[in-house]
Amino acid sequence: MFSAKELNLEETELREQVALLDEHARVQFARLEQGTRRNPLVYLCLNLLFFLGAQHFYLRRWGRGTLSLLAGLTALVLLASGEVLYGSGLLVAMGIIEIPQLLNYELIVHAFNNRGLQMNLQQVRKSLR
């Protein structure tokens, strides 16, 4: 996990590289960034419903999102069928796994956004060749 200072430094370096692009490339970059940038507060709200896995889908973590969704649905089915111990145990285990992400939501989204900046910058540079 990166620190906020490292992520801010990385973002600053990427933004400086974007500033060196010509006007047309910067417009293209801005268009790409609009589609890839994620909001930390949306991620936080989705993380509160951790058993649905929506926060993982929001950050395009398809495998982890699917696994969380299946585990959450399994827990709900267990609870509905009277297996309260197993259903609640599964939900508690999922919560334990997701708590660090809930506490570090800003860093997680910042790292995701930096990766997006990096990929968008590479894509714009390729299109200039």
User: Which domain range does residue 70 map to?
Assistant: 4-121
Residue 36 lies in a domain: yes
The whole-model pTM stands at 0.88
The pLDDT of residue 49: 80
Separation in Å, CA 47 to CA 30, 40, 79 = 28, 10, 21
Residue 128 lies in a domain: no
Work out the end-to-end distance of the chain between its first and last CA atoms, rounded to an integer number of angstroms: 34
Residue 100 lies in a domain: yes
Residue 70 lies in a domain: yes
Split into its structural domains, the chain has a count of: 1
Mean pLDDT score across all residues of the chain:
93
Measured CA to CA, the distance from residue 22 to residue 109 in angstroms comes to 28
Selection from 73, 30, 37 nearest residue 58 by Cα = 37
What is the tens place of the pLDDT at every residue in 68-114? Answer: 999 999 999 999 999 999 999 999 999 899 899 889 999 999 999 99
Are 78 and 94 in contact by the 8 Å Cβ rule? The answer is no
Q: Which residues contact 5 (CB under 8 A, 6 or more apart)?
A: none
What is the tens place of the pLDDT at every residue in 18-70? Answer: 999 999 999 999 999 999 999 999 999 998 887 788 999 999 999 999 999 99
